[in-house]
Amino acid sequence: MAYEAILNSVRVRRPAAAGAPLYCDALEYGLTGDGATNDQPALAALVDRLGAGYASDGRARVIYCPPGVYSIRDAGTVWRSGVSLVGAGPAATRFMLSNEGNRADPTPLAFWTTLQHGADRDRHIADCTFADFQIDGSGVAMAEYNYLAKGLGLQYMVRGVFRNLYIHHTAASGLGCDFLQDSLIDGVVVVGCGRLDNGEQMGGAGIGVGVGGWGPVERLTIANCTALANGTNGIFLELQKDYWEPPRGYRIIGCHSQGNRFGISDWGTDGLIVSACTMSGNLEAGFDVSAQGTSSVAGRGGLVTDCVIDGNLRDGVSIGNSPGPYIVRGNRISGNGRHGYHAHDLGRGYQGPIRDVVIESNEFWGNGLDAVRIDHQMTDTVLLNNRIRNNGRQYARAAGGTGDAVRYSERSLVDRTADWPHDGHRGKVLRVGRSVATVASNSGNELSLAPVRPDAFTAWSGDVPPPGCAYELAPAPGRRAGITIDAPFDSATIRGNRIWDNHETGTQTHGLWITERGSCVDCRVEDNDLAGNAEDGMRLDTPPVGGRWRDNHVDSDWG
């Protein structure tokens, strides 16, 4: 740490410290890569040696691991500044983590943390790159979940780079690094991480970044990453202390997040930019802004743009207990099991109105219930120029059956006597005795069921029901609108939206619905085309108060 403040231009003039070469072939320094020898002690010794060299002369070192299988057993390696670890590619250089000899040790590949090592702003690590290798965490088993059982678990880094990594089946988060300044995560693939997380514990993500340790600005870009079937989030940012200021400076660009509990989550930043990402098939929501993180502080001030948010089991975009603002602009939000956009109260964190949310120029179609659902108080919201069509697809009537025609498997139900509308049960809860499962899609006589948790083999909360057991599916809600207001909605602007249903069997019952619990005070609702819904353009169970309502077109306006 002695030369941490020295400029790079000064560092390069210093000769390399003796005994700490700038580039090391790991096989020449005690590692074997044979898959049998425990390479962790040799790796730790080499990292210490090269780290001492960096501390002496300020020149970064590289450890190159040629193709091979490197067994890392029963201990993680405490990382040092100025030491990079580079392989020959994720398929060629593989680090196999195992704690078979010490089940109490979480055994990450590399770690540097506040709790274990005193990491903080003044004791950070810098100038480290991790690139071109694979981490297999399937060999780590523990009696109780431990959030340190990650692939990489580093805190307080400056100029860190994580590139072209494949990290899979770790017990906790795959890449779980906090307080990254001037750093880059690029082309990282994370699969099946957080496998010991029950979905309610800390971490358990594919890529999880704790934020706030450096103060109001932390500069990190996450780009071109893929997160598949991870225990909690595919990718998430989480404020670590409730008294810290939510930081700015984060960008998530061009990433794909599929089959996780949440796709991408903002749990405590200010001004997060999410652009050109795909969030599909996640079990709770594609994109989540909420107070579900460690600090119970939701994100605010962010921008979600040019994304495809499709086929998530519940909501496409979910915002809960955020003070706002937030912008959701230019996205395709389609085929989600419940709502396209959902504002709701999760019962923790900020309890006031969500302010200054902009929902603009999005394509909402094919969602199971309402395209836009307001279940939490909002103020100064703008809904502008959205195309909202053919939602309310969860329209099938109640169903049930028993007997010889009914068969179950880990991920399906078949009833040969059924004749259900295509995907009419999508997003519903299936009940068979005490067991439940959630419908991901359906044909005329088969329900395809979502996994009970990411990367799970079964969809059932208990054992697979035996053949012939009676099942039940609840009826669809009677009203499924393009925009539903079921909470106080004050000083909002709803303008220029086209809301309709052009299917032969219309399922989007109304364009705009204010429920008995909802209210609309001093709102500007103008120039919306609400013609062509299954029942009516507008339903106002609670009459609006004040504001300006004009030039909204319904079916009776067309000759």
Give the model confidence (pLDDT) of 338-396 as tens digits: 999 999 998 888 999 999 999 999 999 999 999 999 999 999 999 999 999 999 999 99
Q: Rounded distance, CA 362 to CA 390, Å?
A: 14
Q: Count CA within 13 A, CB hemisphere, residue 3.
A: 20
Shared domain check, 255 and 378? no
pLDDT (average), residues 27-49: 97
Shared domain check, 344 and 411? no
* Structure confidence at residue 143 (pLDDT): 85
* Structure confidence at residue 438 (pLDDT): 96
Q: Is 555 exposed, middle or buried (0-12, 13-18, 19+ CB in 10 A)?
A: middle
Contact 163, 184 (CB under 8 A): yes
Does the residue 6 lie in any domain? no
Tell me the two tokens of residue 157: 């880094």
Q: Please give the model's pTM, rounded to 2 decimal places.
A: 0.95
Measure Cα distances from 556 to 222, 540, 553 in Å: 50, 17, 8
Does the residue 116 lie in any domain? yes
Does the residue 43 lie in any domain? no
Shared domain check, 101 and 223? yes
Does the residue 35 lie in any domain? no
Shared domain check, 222 and 318? yes
Query: Based on the structure, what is the number of domains in the chain?
Result: 3
Tell me which of 458, 473, 488 is where a domain ends: 473
On the question of pLDDT at 12 being above 60, the answer is no
Shared domain check, 432 and 302? no
On the question of pLDDT at 327 being above 60, the answer is yes
**Tens digit of each residue's pLDDT (9 = 90 or more) over 261-290:** 999 999 999 999 999 999 999 999 999 999
* Structure confidence at residue 557 (pLDDT): 67
| Residue 454 belongs to domain spanning | 406-473
* Structure confidence at residue 8 (pLDDT): 45
Shared domain check, 308 and 198? yes
Measure Cα distances from 473 to 204, 245, 309, 391 in Å: 32, 46, 26, 20
pLDDT (average), residues 456-468: 95
Q: Rounded distance, CA 326 to CA 298, Å?
A: 11
Confidence band, pLDDT 50/70/90 cuts, at residue 559: low
Shared domain check, 367 and 340? no
On the question of pLDDT at 1 being above 60, the answer is no
On the question of pLDDT at 139 being above 50, the answer is yes
Does the residue 157 lie in any domain? yes
Q: Provide the CATH number for the domain around residue 306.
A: 2.160.20.10
Shared domain check, 318 and 371? no
DSSP 474-528: PPPPS--EEEEE-SEEES-EEES-EEE--SSS----EEEEE-SS-EEES-EEES-
pLDDT (average), residues 209-230: 97
Q: Is 263 helix (H, G, I), strand (E, B) or coil?
A: strand
Shared domain check, 378 and 519? yes
Does the residue 7 lie in any domain? no
Tell me which of 335, 350, 365 is where a domain ends: 350
* Structure confidence at residue 18 (pLDDT): 62
pLDDT (average), residues 285-314: 96
Shared domain check, 493 and 464? no
Does the residue 16 lie in any domain? no
Shared domain check, 428 and 314? no
Q: Rounded distance, CA 516 to CA 523, Å?
A: 17
Q: Rounded distance, CA 501 to CA 556, Å?
A: 16
* Percent of the chain predicted with pLDDT > 70: 96
Strand partners, 341: 317, 372
Confidence band, pLDDT 50/70/90 cuts, at residue 500: very high
Does the residue 53 lie in any domain? no
Q: Rounded distance, CA 126 to CA 180, Å?
A: 10
Shared domain check, 279 and 333? yes
3-state secondary structure 416-452: CCCCCCCCCCCCCEEEECCEEEEEEEECCCEEEECCC
Write the DSSP symbol of residue 398.
Answer: P
Q: Compute the CA torsion angle 462, 467, 468, 473 (nearest 10 deg).
A: 40
**Average pLDDT for the chain:** 94
